[in-house]
Amino acid sequence: MSYVDEVLERVIAQNPAQPEFHQAVKEVLDSLRPVIEEHEADYRREALLERLTTPERQILFRVPWVDDKGQVQVNNGYRVQFNSAIGPYKGGLRFHPSVNLSIIKFLGFEQIFKNSLTGLPIGGGKGGADFNPKGKSDREVMAFCQSFMQELYRHIGAFVDVPAGDIGVGGREIGYLYGEYKKITGLYEGVLTGKGLTYGGSLARTQATGYGLVYFAEEMLKANGIDLKDKTVAISGAGNVATYAIEKAEQLGAHVVTCTDSTGWIYDPDGIDVATLKDVKEVKRARLTEYKAARPNAIYHEGKGVWTTKCDVAMPCATQNELVLDDAKTLKSNGCIAVCEGANMPTTLEATQFIQSNGMFFTPGKASNAGGVATSALEMTQNSERLSWTFDEVDSKLQNIMVGLFRNVDSAAKKYGMEGNYVAGANIAGFLKVADAMKAQGIV
């Protein structure tokens, strides 16, 4: 049996009932086969893949807090410190009722390669809790965040592990988490990113993932002789990534006609109005039915179905496995030419394979959504030098990073004879840097 197959079997046997983690490992290891085969004896002896697929540390903790009725609630907290070969652990925190160890491990595993691809010195980690911020008062969210940090603080630090936001964790939550960290440790340090602009945050971090996705997509299309301008784009999600992807795509002359939330989706033939979307989601924290109320021409559909929209480019920006094989087939038959992932692993393996083998372009999240964490690393740099850069400085660094990242992914795919396969290119380019650092640092 090949080394890759052995390790895949091992991962499945040792991590039972963790389907998302298995899926992420399978996608990466399958596309690394040509590289692994080149170095098989070496990697085997050093158990490189076993070490790569086993987190350095997994922290599971109790998060008790008191709700507005005086009732004590208990949630499960997680921080998986996956790999620190190239820098301190870096990755977001997700607060969503679906959070479990499988989801945090898949996200932490993906983060290793994504962070490597940014070219910046950050290792891979991820955390979160099965806490649902929806419908909670600000005081309840604060109480939860404070309790979460009362355990997390001992495991993180500006040179140890630097969490940030993800689903359900935005500026409000980062503020409460930061305040509690500072109170417990007495340290005013760059321990979290995505901070507010008055206390160490970076301009353009809020926009970075969505903007970076569009910069990446534009560069990929350009490399294939296609202009993003005037293209019709379908986007899912209505949160941080989706909102700023819509904003940037529209600025670049694309026509974005959809967004979704966890209850339904909007088709707006006039193009999604970003100001209305921000008001509904960022200010009112309401449902997309409110968007429809403000934009009578828009159509609101309850439930799923966004990928039935006729579009040239699809950008899934909500959550994992939201674009399945049937969706990929529908997109293809409607003439879609590219799927660019904004979320982490929003496309199932079967859908990805269909897309790639039916002449559509596909960019994996670990490459196309890397602008968020890259800008987090720029926030860390600004914190270290105790300076703040302008919006334009950060945005132009972000653009350079995304363009460079695309070229790196593209040339890795070409080098291994898989031109245009950006999944292989991203996994190979991300892996080689981490593998080299792991080998250099010995068996640790």
User: Which residues are marked as active site?
Assistant: 126
For residue 98, report the phi and psi dihedrals to the nearest 5 degrees.
-80, -5
x/- binding map, residues 383-422, to ligand NDP, per CB under 6 A? ----------------------------------------
Task: Determine if residue 130 is left, alpha or beta; phi over 0 gives left, psi from -120 to 50 gives alpha, anything else beta.
Answer: alpha
**Sheet-wide strand order for 313-315:** 255-256, 232-235, 313-315, 338-340, 361-363
Instruction: Among 240, 309, 347, 356, indicate the residue that binds ligand NDP (CB under 6 A).
Output: 240
For position 289 contacting ligand NDP by CB under 6 A, the verdict is: no
Q: Which stretch binds ligand NDP (CB under 6 A): 6-14, 234-242, 269-277, 349-357?
A: 234-242
Binding-site size for ligand 2IT (CB under 6 A) equals: 11
Residue 245 backbone phi and psi in degrees, to 5: -70, -45
The single-letter code of the amino acid at 417 is G
Query: According to CB under 6 A, which residues from 205 to 224 bind ligand NDP?
Result: 209
**What is the x/- site pattern for ligand 2IT, positions 85-124, by CB under 6 A?**
-----xxx---------------------x----------
State how far the Cα of 316 lies from the Cα of 414, in Å rounded to an integer. Answer: 26
* Nearest to 370, CA basis, from 110, 128, 104: 110
Contact 73, 66 (CB under 8 A): yes
In angstroms, the CA 317 to CA 67 distance is: 31
Pick between residue 134 and residue 222 the one whose CB is nearest to ligand NDP: 134
- Among positions 20, 140, 166, 247, the unique one binding ligand 2IT when judged by CB under 6 A: 166
Contact partner at residue 237 from ligand 2IT, ligand NDP, none, CB < 5 to 8 Å by partner kind = ligand NDP
Smaller CB distance to ligand 2IT: residue 91 or 175? 91
Residues 302-361 that bind ligand NDP (CB under 6 A): 317-319, 342-344
Determine which residue in the list 77, 108, 123, 372 makes contact with ligand 2IT, applying CB under 6 A. 372
193 touches ligand 2IT (CB under 6 A): yes
Task: State which of residues 55, 124, 168, 364 lies at the interface with ligand NDP (CB under 6 A).
Answer: 168
- 20 sits near ligand 2IT (criterion: CB under 6 A): no
Distances (CA, A) of 57 to 29, 96, 207, 253, 343: 21, 22, 31, 45, 25
**Between 49 and 318, whose beta carbon lies closer to ligand NDP?**
318
Q: Which two tokens stand for residue 90?
A: 């870096």
Does 164 engage in binding with ligand 2IT (CB under 6 A)?
Answer: yes
Q: Are 229 and 219 in contact (CB under 8 A)?
A: no
Concatenate the DSSP letters of all residues of 281-325 into one string: IIIS---THHHHHH-TTSEEEESS-GGGS--SEEE--S-TT-B-H
Residues in the site for ligand 2IT, rule: CB under 6 A? 90-92, 114, 164, 166, 193, 344, 372-373, 376
Contact residues toward ligand NDP (CB under 6 A) are: 96, 98, 165-168, 170, 209, 237-242, 261-262, 281, 317-319, 342-344, 369, 372
